[in-house]
Copies of this chain bind each other. A is one copy, B any other.
Amino acid sequence: MVYQKNRDERNSEILSQIIQLYTATAIPVSSKSVAESMDNIVSSATIRNIMAELEEDGFIEQPHTSAGRRPTDRGYRHYVDHLNGRLSLEKHKVKKFEEEFFEKVRSIKDLIEQSSHLINRQLHYASAVMLPDTVSQYMKHLELLKIKSDTVMAVLVTMTNIVENYIIKLDGDIEKGQLNKIANFINEKCEGKKVSDILEYLKGVNSVADKNSELGAMSAFAIRLIDGMAKTDIENEIFITGMDCFSGQADFSNSEDFRNLLKILSDKKLMMKIMKGELSAGGMRFYIGHENEPEPLKKCSLVTFGYEFHGTPLGRIGIIGPTRMHYENVFQTVNYLIEVLNSKIEGLS
């Protein structure tokens, strides 16, 4: 019935007002302040009635009887789910970043780094950025260097201009000429291929080649190499910055909470695991308050989005702030970042 719809619409609007006020001040908002923020088109008493309804619906809550209301996680969720309609107007507001932040970007690493800066400086939230896995990258060039009699360094340059290196220790000596041959072989056959595909390709070659032939030895060595690279670099390739954003915020005045949060954010392995789970998520995702997993993050919100190359998801970027986050700004900035990142990445190669 039309009747009901109007009511819901207005309730949503009041909720939105409450969220914006609470986001700005961190103080539970009173009916009076809502009325004022709406230029008193309705009285505080009316707002009180609506607020009672919103509370019944679980969108807002009172810390105690004689206090104002603040949004619940559910309230934020409702707000975020209905963001799409409300904005996408002020796109120009974000545009000015471009020149500042993405000026002399040469590699995907620069891009990711700049994104994290932008999140810290413009949004004032923490960021967790993942560099791409080696395996999901496309190879441009491989170089093999003998760095000791029995030690070889492989330097892999990807299409997105990331340089990975891997050091491998051999059982015996190996000749320089032999190394060059192997490098040439891989470069010729595999340039432009995805690293994971290269591995499969080499396995194919190896499976049909005579074990004692040159091709057999070469492909066996190459497999060992690429496989080693793929397994190695995964560990620490995550960077968390801007943790200091939480310390000013009233939300974490409870130092126990703050301490726990810092501990989580400082734990690269854990953060990597969280972000890793997101890899195939696609698009922008909001995780609000209790929707997050390790206890200390339940007072935070996490917004993640991915970047990709030729349609393959390469990595993901996370924005972490208090649940009382400025979702609107985040939404707009992320939309902008997704666009810029993906286009710039394609432009790299």
Interface residues of A in 142-191 (CB under 8 A from B): 143, 145, 147, 153, 155, 157, 161, 163, 165, 167
C-alpha spacing A248/B255, complex, angstroms: 9
Asked whether B253 lies within 8 Å of A266 as measured between CB atoms, the reply is: no
A61 CB to closest chain B CB (Å) equals 25
A118 CB to closest chain B CB (Å) equals 15
Known A161-B147, A243-B266; contact A113-B259, beta-carbon cutoff 8 A: no
C-alpha spacing A140/B248, complex, angstroms: 47
Contact with B along A247-284 (1 / 0, CB 8 A): 11000010100110011011000000000000000000
Asked whether A155 lies within 8 Å of B143 as measured between CB atoms, the reply is: yes
- Asked whether any CB of chain B lies closer than 8 Å to the CB of A244, the reply is yes
Contact with B along A184-228 (1 / 0, CB 8 A): 000000000000000000000000000000000000000000000
**Residues of B close to A106: CB separation below 8 A:** 167
A283 CB to closest chain B CB (Å) equals 29
A4 CB to closest chain B CB (Å) equals 47
A-side residues, CB < 8 A to B, are 106-107, 113, 140-141, 143, 145, 147, 153, 155, 157, 161, 163, 165, 167, 236, 241-244, 247-248, 253, 255, 258-259, 262-263, 265-266, 349
Asked whether A155 lies within 8 Å of B157 as measured between CB atoms, the reply is: yes
C-alpha spacing A258/B113, complex, angstroms: 26
C-alpha spacing A153/B349, complex, angstroms: 12
C-alpha spacing A140/B258, complex, angstroms: 46
**Residues of B close to A143: CB separation below 8 A:** 143, 155
C-alpha spacing A262/B242, complex, angstroms: 9
**8 nearest CB pairs, A to B:** A247-B259, A244-B262, A106-B167, A163-B165, A244-B266, A244-B263, A247-B262, A143-B143
**Residues of B close to A147: CB separation below 8 A:** 140, 157, 161, 349
C-alpha spacing A236/B117, complex, angstroms: 12
The residue from B141, B153, B243, B263 contacting A161, defined by CB atoms under 8 A apart: B153
Cβ-closest chain B residue relative to A165: B163
C-alpha spacing A5/B196, complex, angstroms: 73
A245 CB to closest chain B CB (Å) equals 9
- Cβ contacts A to B, 15 pairs, < 8 Å: A106-B167, A113-B236, A140-B145, A140-B147, A145-B157, A147-B161, A153-B157, A161-B165, A163-B163, A241-B266, A244-B259, A244-B263, A247-B262, A248-B259, A253-B255
